[in-house]
Each structure stands twice: as structure tokens, then as C-alpha cells.
């Protein structure tokens, strides 16, 4: 069995104003991931997710589609080192 992985995503499109951040955080929590989701000043959403590879892959796939009203135009995915910090927790 493989250990946890961590990725950072930057999501572009109609993602702010349609509660993308809230829905993404809820999806990450549902998948049992740790990390964070935040709105960026330039209109993108940034997320970091850490957990089992399969759950992270499902989260990335969800981010590419987003909630019903989001029109995602691009998702950049970057692998990052796994962190073992207690404050790496996704909040709604």
C-alpha cells in the first residue's frame, strides 16, 4: 500500500461567486482529505489536498468539473511533499 500524497491545485473559470470554495471543501472532507481551499484575489481558487492517492485523484477530478454553476476552464495540479502538521485541516 502506498502512503499519502499531497497536491496543490489552482482552478480558473467562473469559480468565485458560485460557492466553489465551499463545495470543494465539503467534497474534500467527504473524501477524508486534509488541506485547505481559498479564494485568490485574481478570481482563481487554490486548494491543497493530502491523503490516499485514490481520494486525491477523486478530488482532482471533482475540481475539474466543480459545482453545477462553475465553468472551470483550467486546473493546474502540482505535487508537493507530504506534511504531517495538525493544522493542515480543511474547514468549511
Give catalytic residue positions.
21, 39
Residue 80: its H or E element: strand 71-80
Give the DSSP letter string of 1-56.
Answer: ----EEEEEEEEEE-TTTTHHHHHHHHHHHTT-EEEEEE-TTS-EEEEEEE-HHHH
Amino acid at each position: 500500500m502506498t502512503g499519502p500524497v499531497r497536491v496543490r491545485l489552482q482552478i480558473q473559470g467562473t469559480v468565485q461567486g458560485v460557492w466553489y470554495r465551499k463545495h470543494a471543501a465539503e467534497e474534500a472532507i467527504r473524501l477524508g482529505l486534509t488541506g485547505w481551499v481559498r479564494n485568490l484575489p485574481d478570481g482563481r481558487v487554490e486548494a491543497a489536498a493530502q491523503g490516499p492517492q485514490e481520494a486525491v485523484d477523486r478530488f482532482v477530478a471533482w475540481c475539474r468539473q466543480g459545482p453545477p454553476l462553475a465553468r472551470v476552464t483550467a486546473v493546474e495540479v502540482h505535487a508537493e511533499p507530504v506534511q504531517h502538521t495538525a493544522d493542515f485541516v480543511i474547514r468549511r
